[in-house]
Structure 1
Amino acid sequence: MQSRLRDVALFSTLSPRELKVVSTLIHQRSALAGEVIFDEGEEGQAIYFVFSGEIMICHQGHAASPIAMMGAGRIFGELALIDGGPRSAQARAAKDCELGVMFRGDFQNLMESHASIATKISFQLARHYAGIIRMLAASQRDTQ
């Protein structure tokens, strides 16, 4: 599990010892092509890590026009760690997938028991969001 987590940018700054701690909180999940991982509007309870395969993010009923495709090393459903609010889109396996799952409660426990690890993960999550914001700003400029 630790070697798979090393390939996920969210965990790239963690030491081997820290990865070992985090690996105890990650649940493995397989998904077949076409399987819905979560639905739009569903309560966000976990963040997902793509170990292999591909995930399609789309609005329900609009699978023909995906918002994003997520391959190995990518994360999705990350807002669940922040607010646990309803999912803004559907996640569906575009190909057979191997996923890692971290539940919000497990991350909250990590913040209490291993604050330095949670801080490193939170910083990487902030960098991830900064990249998304920059990409959206650039695409907004391109459409004007």
Structure 2
Amino acid sequence: MAGNKTIKFSAITRAGYEYQDLVGIEVLIRHYRDPTLFEWVQLESDDPSVKSLDDVVAKRMDGSVEYIQVKFTVNSAEYPLDWDYLLSKKENGTSMLAKWAKSFARAKASGVIHSAQLKTNRVPSSDFAACMNGTLVDLSKVPTAT
């Protein structure tokens, strides 16, 4: 990767999976502490309808589903969580936010969603942080130009 020439690509990939594993373990610990919380938990769900929200999927006992998408960067100081990261797209491509929205709509059509969230080690940029209340984005604070 351009940001860190001393780390092999395979090591970066493994670090990303380790980060994702930790997020999955966090959900499994919640299930361990409260066995009545989830019916099941999937890591790397193979449900094609939610392919962009598939890293950790947990069906709660009330029938609602939690979706967690995990994104890792090897250099969180250099690559912040910002609107460019979420909205950029390659030529003829789709932004991450648009992919997540499409998967969210498909998931909502097939059942009740308890939550859908992004877990990342990226630190919010100052512009992005200005749109947040705690860990949530406050849509009323998002500039219309975004």
Q: Same fold (TM over 0.5)?
A: no
TM-score, normalised with respect to structure 2? 0.31
Question: Which of the pair has more CA radius of gyration?
Answer: 2
